[in-house]
Amino acid sequence: MSEKIAWSDRAERAYGQIIDYVADEFGATRAKRYMKEVYETVGKLPENPKMGQIEPLLEGSRYEFRRLLIGHLTKIIYRESEERIEIADVWDTRKSPEELVARFKE
């Protein structure tokens, strides 16, 4: 079982952008609540790495990607390996699904 959680550069950038947006639009308190929800949810992955659903948009990819929903507008996209759980992306679900697929073909 994987115990280490690693965030990809892409995931860190996307997460930072979402935090900035939430803070700008809804205030620091809401941004802190959002951050807490993300970290509590992601923190459960080592105990239950298959808790997320398989991401259907990324089926057929080189890896099996799973997703966790944070609220209605954010997906945490991750994959599990023997060494770690990698948070591959943090996706704003208001964006085009085709953009998500394209990001994983890079």
The Cα–Cα gap between 11 and 77 comes to: 8
Q: Give the domain CATH number at 80.
A: 3.30.2310.20
Longest CA–CA separation in the chain, Å: 39
Residue-level pLDDT at 106: 65
| 71-103: pLDDT as tens digits | 888 999 999 988 899 999 999 999 999 999 998
Range(s) of the domain holding residue 37: 4-103
| 32-70: pLDDT as tens digits | 999 999 999 999 999 999 999 999 999 988 899 999 999
Count up the domains in the chain and report the number.
1
Whole-structure pTM over 0.85, yes or no? yes
* DSSP per residue, 74-102: EEEEEEE-SSEEEEEEEEETTS-HHHHHH
